[in-house]
Chains A and B, each alone.
Chain A
Amino acid sequence: MVPTSYYVLLSAILFTIGVLGVLLRRNAIVIFMAVELMLNAANLALVAFARERLGVEAQVIVFFVITVAAAEVAVGLALLVAIFRTKRTADVDEVSTLKG
């Protein structure tokens, strides 16, 4: 039997790697992937706690999170394609038109 704390520890590590990915990388697509990694880490912690308390509701919530993540990926990648068509780059440093 694996203690819940091990899953929480793994989830924390994965979430931190995701945060570092957003902070360190400049390729917009890789930043987006890191966001997905964070969503997955949160899902993992949620399911681990659900397993401890035997709550099926958490599984429903994870199901919703995955569905919304799919919608978010579709819109986000469409935005990236639109940015790439006007700016010819996926580097977030180059997309600073709104900067004063």
Chain B
Amino acid sequence: MELILFLITALIAIVGAVAMLVSRNAVHSALFLLLNFAAIAVLFLLLQAPFLFTIQLTVYAGAIMVLFLFVVMLLGAEKVEDTPDRIAWQQPLALLLGLALLVVSVVVGLGGATNPPPESEALIQFSDPRTLGALLFTDYLLPFEVTGFILLIAVIGVVVLNQRGRKI
């Protein structure tokens, strides 16, 4: 049952990613990427990580994709690739290198992977958001503060970059 659910979700994720890659309109690309993000959120749920499922939906599918769609529509940059590529040999080379990367990553990735452990007390603790929260505010308190600082710097950067009437 779980395997069928995984296969369907994985298929949706791959279809979303490929459609994002090939669609000519940037708005369609963004919407297909949204489909892919939602599928990955479901996969997080299958991996017993409900907190990451929520974060994936709210931050990625919610905030980040809205930002993407907003910028695409603001700039009117849906279609910019009407002219042929300036470097003709780039596309076949990219496909070849992509295939090589896929083969290498599959070989390396499958090397150490085994079956996940079955239901246990440790799994319940793994999927509990309370464990994650406790870890975040004790052992990982400094990285947590640093991410807050990174977000602050990002906000300042956005404001500085988009100041009107000043050459950057």
Contact = CB atoms under 8 A, between A and B. Distances in A.
B44 A47 contact: yes
A91 B116 contact: no
A15 B150 CA distance: 25
A75 B116 CA distance: 38
B21 A66 contact: no
A69 B64 contact: yes
Contacts of B118: 1
Please report whether the interface of chain A is mostly helix, strand, loop or mixed according to DSSP.
Answer: helix
A11 to B, nearest CB: 7
Interface in B12-49: 13-14, 17-18, 20-21, 26, 29-30, 33, 36-37, 40, 43-44, 46-49
Given A27-B77, A63-B136, A90-B77, A52 B114 contact: yes
25 contacts: A5-B113, A7-B47, A11-B109, A12-B102, A14-B17, A21-B20, A21-B21, A24-B21, A28-B77, A29-B26, A29-B68, A29-B71, A29-B75, A32-B68, A37-B20, A40-B40, A52-B117, A60-B132, A60-B136, A63-B136, A67-B150, A74-B157, A77-B71, A78-B157, A82-B161
Given A26-B80, A48-B113, 7 more contacts: A13-B17, A15-B101, A15-B105, A27-B77, A47-B52, A50-B49, A60-B140
